[in-house]
Amino acid sequence: MTIVRPIQLSDYDALYRCAEESGHGFTSLPLNQEILTRRIENSQQSFLKPSIDGQFTRQDESYLMVAVDSESNEIIGTTGIEASIGWDVPAYSYHISKVVHSSNKLKVRNEVKVLTLGNNYTGSSELCTLFLRPEYRQGLNGRLLSKCRFLMLAQFPERFSDTIIAEMRGVSDAQGNSPFWQWLKQHFFSIDFTLADYLTGIGSKGFIADLMPKLPIYVNLLSPEAQAVIGQVHQQTAPALKLLEREGFSCRGYVDIFDAGPTVECDRERIHSVQQSLLTKVEVRAHSSSQQYLIANTKLQDFRATLTKAAYDSERNTLYLAPEVAEQLLVETGDSLRVLAQ
């Protein structure tokens, strides 16, 4: 069984291994001991920060979690949510829009796409750091890592923004070369994509403001290779994008400033899994149901989530849960659960 729980300092080695395996373009897991340790510490502080009478002032909270194989106790992946982005470190993106060049006298009309630099998602909450180690990319592990965050959004809405976003990894090759970045590098930056990617991951974004073109970029002036990847995702990211699209996420024309991967967004209350999740009571007992449920307890500091078989009694609004599953979720008969049928 795979269990998702908040990350601990003792998980550092496993997190670093995930950072090594995630490869180029995965800015939320930089190969930097100080940054990774800081992310763990910030996450621990975030999970401990209390709300008062159901009210919570969002700042720079980061909820980073790990997926654990309950039999081997091995960490197999990570997932997380940033509560409010763009305040301490700017959240840059390009917005794709159109300008029209026309002359009635010459009877000429041309529509041209442009990329405009901005910080439009400042204050939004971001789904981030979703990584599943290659040997565990089977079964329902990927779905659990992605969708457990929606149960957290549903259970603790005061901790998150009304707008939820996810930055999708853009197109790059095995060496980390991005066609979009190659054009920017040639004309503005003169540094490799991997270095720019790393600097962004550790929060050193000052070079962006210093070197990024301030005026809108006409897309038709980019190289054909750069134009072709705008709004496209890395092949390894395609399944994650499809899952988010099924949840109601869509791209509103915002793309990453380095690899031009799309940013997708959805109102928190319109996310399918948030809308469909139920708050139920649990009864710990054996059952014979084959129905799969995504299940999370309702504790923040001791948050636990899994995807397993359970039986639901709608009349009693009660979920029957096997004793070994209840033990892993840290719940007893009478406790509350947040559940979602799969």
CB 24 within 8 Å of CB 197: yes
Active site residue 101: no
Backbone angles phi, psi at 148, to 5 degrees: -60, -30
- Of 24, 101, 187, 234, the active-site residue reads 234
In angstroms, the CA 330 to CA 170 distance is: 38
Q: Which residue has the tokens 């950072």?
A: 19
Environment class of 20 (CB within 10 Å of its CB; exposed 0-12, middle 13-18, buried 19+) = exposed
Q: Which residues of 39-71 are buried (b: 16+ CB within 10 A; e: fewer)?
A: bbebbbebbeeeeeeeebeeeebbbbbbbbeee
Which tokens in the block code for residue 308?
Answer: 């397993």
Separation of alpha carbons 258 and 250, rounded Å: 20
Q: How many CB atoms lie within 10 A of CB 290?
A: 8
Q: Which of 26, 27, 33 is nearest to 9 (CA)?
A: 33
Pair of tokens at residue 29: 């897991």
Whole-number Å distance between alpha carbons of 263 and 250: 8
| Nearest partner of 254 among 91, 62, 22, 29, judged by Cα | 91
The residues carrying an active-site annotation are 234
